[in-house]
Chain A
Amino acid sequence: MRLLSSSVSSIVFLAVAHAQEATTPETMSAAETCSIDFQILEKGTRTPIADAPVYLLPDGVAQTTDSSGRVKFSDLTCQEHSWVINITGYVRMDIKQTPIKSSFSKIYIEKINQAAFETVVTDDKLKRDGSQRTLKGDQFMKAIGARGDPIIALENEPGVSGFGQEGGIILQGADPEDTRFYVNGHEVPQIFHNLGFSSIFIPDAVDSVELMPAGFGSEYGRTIGGNINLITKSPKTDRLHSMAYVDLLNAAALVQGPITENQSFWIGGRYSYLGLMFNLVTSDNVTFNQVPEFYDIEGGYNWQINDNWKFDLTGFTARDQIRLAIKDTDDPFFKGDIGSKTKFFRFIPRVTYQPNEDTTWYTSISGGRDYLDFDINNQYFDADINQFSLRSEWKQTWTKNFTTFVGTDSQFSMFRADANIPSGTFPNSEDDKIPFGLRDTIQKRISEDYYDVGFYMRTNIQTDDEKWLFSPNARFEYFSLTQNAHVSPRLEITRKLNPYVKVRANAGLYYQPPQPPELEEDFGNPNLTDPRAIHYSLGAAFDGRSANVGFWGDTTVFYKDLDNLVSNSDATITTPQGIVPERYNNSADGYVVGSQWSLNYHFRKIYTGLVYTILWSRKSDPLNGSYPSLSEQRHNLNMRVAYEANKKWTFSTRARLISGPRFTPVIDAAYDLDNDVYYPTFGALNSRRAPYFFQLDVRADRKWVFERWIMSLYVDVQNVLNRANAFNVEYNFDYSKEKKNTGIPILPTFGIKGEW
């Protein structure tokens, strides 16, 4: 397209040049010649513009820039000359200069569209894994309500129900703990800061976020829910780039650039001042011994060893910390000192070998450590976990239509913990309903080494007319915790109906081991086996855009059949040691069925997006019968409109209407005379909902482009209607009254970013 536009530009400016030739006086001097060397750079980013024609007037002589954006005009008279640069997507630039004997000049040309929503390149090729949705940097940076954050921006995606009541991300009605997080294909314990609801990477370090809900391929396993994979950026190699930003919660900076001709790096970090915000909302009842804080540091290194070999290294660490003293609470358990610190780091070296276009092999190893420290008065949980993982893949394109992928995705963990904690402080615990102060305290040192081995294979078979793609794939897994091995076949079929519409169907088998604490003999039941799911999905995607104007979107119907799920048990079992509680068993099953829709429209200066998900998520077990899942958000509607007022300003708004979170009602309570706390009697599990959630957000983006740097500003007002949306429902001290815990009130936020 650029070549075509360049040709058109050439014709136009040759004509202009000839027209001007008749009226321009002859100025050439035969006695002396000069030359001038231009470097054409994009204004603000200073990105060299290659293959750009530069016209010398009046003759219309064109020279084309090289890869560094340079172009040279020689044998010129040493008088003033005129040049014109006119490239599609950039503001026309007229240059008048008088060259000296050998002169050099940098020319900065400005992009026409600096505003929020840039052209999205349509790719009608059939994807390797059609279930995967990818959010690129430009999309999440400018997503309304996301504060530029790649993970919060996922809330605008279909099938994402947002954050669970106790953290975690809910994908298509799955439990939050059934969603796994990855960075560059390696699992990490968390992908966003607990205390700040920001991702663990500064947005400028993230290339894209891959969302893998129902029907994802065999490259990923160990879960019956879904995955989120965060891909880091490769460093820029043209020059040294820097970026810094501040917003309401934190400040960050990133530097990247070349080290040598074939080596480059990036390094960045962020520090929060969240504690200031907390201090604004706390009272005399709460004293921060350490204000809430989080930070992350991340870096990368790329080395293009030769044409075939490449090495890269990604390293990152993230920490969240808080310590406070509560003087007086409804539940005496929480009176006193409370502290929490979570920290982890990873180093991920990767070697890639690509001897030709048909063969690619890479191997990456992740090594790191997780630290989890919690304490309340004399109760504590201190864990250190050494984590190692291996991901390796060989991709071979045998013919134009036949490609195979073979790889491994394996993990090894060394878990060490000192615990002196109330029972049931882990997900799905049997005594979730019991006030903390009434639970048995379990004191134990835990030392457990375990591993998950996974091998996968995918074969992509495409028909000659490129209309069909058959992608049978399978995964072999072995979980040492349960000592179970599984083979999980999966299949995806994609059909391109025409240049605008694709349909896709897939089905697959998925296993995950129980949560490690559920298998621990004193916290759980070591005899548990692996929960299983079968995913089915049927989807269609269409792109009716022409010249980036028109409709595009997709829809998917999904069904997940869940069985052998871990369920709470109130039974006791007799062992050689005596009568002990069973705590958990595998007697639960369930399903999630739903449909998700995404419809977008772009016309001139207006961009609109509409996302809707409807689902039913239910489970059943002998203790509770059939009941809706806690994560079931029946309706989730998200509407966005952005208006590019001019090339600098963009205004956008988002409205979200979501079913209220589910909760279990309390129908009675008894006063525990020994512990000064009420013990609730619950009604039907998850049988009630909090009122629906409705929030309206507005945002304005402004960009200032200077020759050598860019400044961006956004102002984002969340919940402009100041609606008190409940994120869960709590009870008062004796369970006689319900009270809604409401989320953020009206919250104006801002962010300023400088890039140079």
Chain B
Amino acid sequence: MKKILFMSMLFLLASCEDDENRFFQLGEFRVLAVQADFPEIDGNSPTPITVTLTPFVSDVKAAGRTLSIDILACPDPGLQLGNEPTCDESLSTTQTIAYANVNSSTLGARFTGAMPSFTVDVPPGLLTGQTAQTQFNGLDYLITMKFSAGSESTSTYKRITVSQRTPKNKNPRIENVLRNGNTGGSIHNNDSLGIDLLAGFGAQTYEFRDQDGIISEKNEELTTSWFTYKGTTDLRRTFINEETVFEQTPNTNNPFVVAVLRDDRGGIDVVLRE
């Protein structure tokens, strides 16, 4: 824990880096999120379970070009042990997922939105031989995606949790991105932005089994990341009851923001607000 204290002291002096502020400002190609229809699946299933994944990207500046994704899927190679988040193509447990190229103009007028979905069949038997704790809390099935847009590329990965516990995790849902507490109107300079959750799709309570076999309840913590176009926000990430203030770039029109809502277990929702 001394390391955590040390790291936090560094943040005192070096937080809010300009680099990351630029990352949240849209224009260049960005991978915003990848949503799985089932972030957590049943590890007892005797047959493969098909999961549908939907990438959300933004490519405003290019205003129309070919986007491609190279996709591999495999059991977690041991991220918690320090191994890289990659799938070894030479292993039989790795599957290659085909994905057809698309043009970013299909994302909509703002060149920001969902790409066509793809599916992954998660094989059965992943929990065989694992400890009772791992079987209950789950093991990750990894999907690596290398996005390419022209000469730019971004390596990403996402996990599907394979577990025995119930109920399974589901994606949180944003009902509205609020502007000064309201749903209407377009975004302007100094607007306070927040989100309104869809009833029944907020933070879930879930069970967690510790190493001694004791099962306790934990609560998800929802966090929203704010991507902006023609402006910035004072906070790049907000907790669920927190707001961020939009600062519009002077002499610009038609700004928009993208709110990416995450629970801390792989559940995701994405909403664009103009």
Contact = CB atoms under 8 A, between A and B. Distances in A.
Contact of B237 (A421, A422, A570, A676): A676
B210 A570 contact: no
A372 interface: yes
Contact of B221 (A377, A440, A668): A377
B155 A676 contact: no
A670 B157 contact: yes
Interface of B: 1-8, 10-17, 19-20, 23, 31, 33-34, 78-86, 129-132, 134-135, 144, 154-159, 208, 210-212, 216, 221, 223, 225, 234-237, 239, 260, 262, 264-266, 268
Contact of B78 (A432, A570, A673): A570
Given A425-B3, A570-B83, A676-B262, A733 B155 contact: no
Given A332-B223, A332-B237, A672 B31 contact: no
A669 interface: yes
Interface string A437-452: 0111011100000000
Contacts of B223: 332, 335, 676
Contacts of A118: none
B10 to A, nearest CB: 6
Contacts of A423: 80
27 contacts: A166-B2, A166-B3, A166-B6, A285-B16, A286-B15, A329-B11, A329-B16, A330-B17, A334-B8, A335-B223, A340-B5, A372-B1, A374-B4, A376-B8, A421-B1, A432-B82, A434-B82, A574-B129, A581-B80, A668-B155, A673-B268, A676-B237, A676-B260, A679-B157, A732-B19, A733-B20, A737-B19
Interface string A71-109: 000000000000000000000000000000000000000
B69 to A, nearest CB: 12
Nearest to A286: B12
A668 B156 CA distance: 11
Nearest to B33: A673
A685 B78 CA distance: 19
B63 to A, nearest CB: 23
Contacts of B130: 578-579
Given A431-B82, A521-B211, A734-B19, 7 more contacts: A338-B8, A374-B5, A570-B82, A577-B132, A673-B34, A673-B156, A674-B159
Contacts of B211: 442, 444, 521-522
Contacts of A432: 82
A509 to B, nearest CB: 30
Contacts of B34: 673
A285 B234 CA distance: 9
A328 B223 CA distance: 12
Most buried by B among A283, A329, A433, A736: A329
A282 B12 contact: yes
Interface string A108-146: 000000000000000000000000000000000000000
A376 B2 CA distance: 12
A432 B4 CA distance: 11
Interface residues of A, number: 80
A579 B135 CA distance: 11
Nearest to A326: B11
A716 interface: no
A736 B153 CA distance: 13
Nearest to B146: A670
A278 interface: yes
B144 A734 contact: no
A575 B5 CA distance: 34
Given A167-B2, A434-B80, A676 B225 contact: yes
Contacts of B235: 327-328
A462 B146 CA distance: 74
Given A436-B7, A732-B17, A430 B12 contact: no
B78 A572 contact: yes
Contacts of A237: none
A334 B156 contact: no
Contacts of B6: 165-167
A569 B216 CA distance: 30
A51 interface: no
A114 to B, nearest CB: 40
Contacts of B234: 328
Interface string A317-355: 000001010111111101110101000000000000000
Contact of A670 (B3, B155, B159): B155
B224 to A, nearest CB: 10
A239 to B, nearest CB: 44
Contacts of A439: 80
A334 B23 contact: no
Contact of B131 (A336, A578, A583, A733): A578
Most buried by A among B4, B17, B265: B4
Interface string A710-749: 0000000000000000000010111011010100000000
B12 A194 contact: no
Nearest to B233: A328
A580 interface: yes
A451 to B, nearest CB: 24
A332 to B, nearest CB: 6
A583 B236 CA distance: 35
The 6 closest A-B pairs by CB, nearest first: A578-B131, A374-B1, A670-B155, A733-B20, A570-B81, A671-B156
A569 B34 CA distance: 31
A311 interface: no
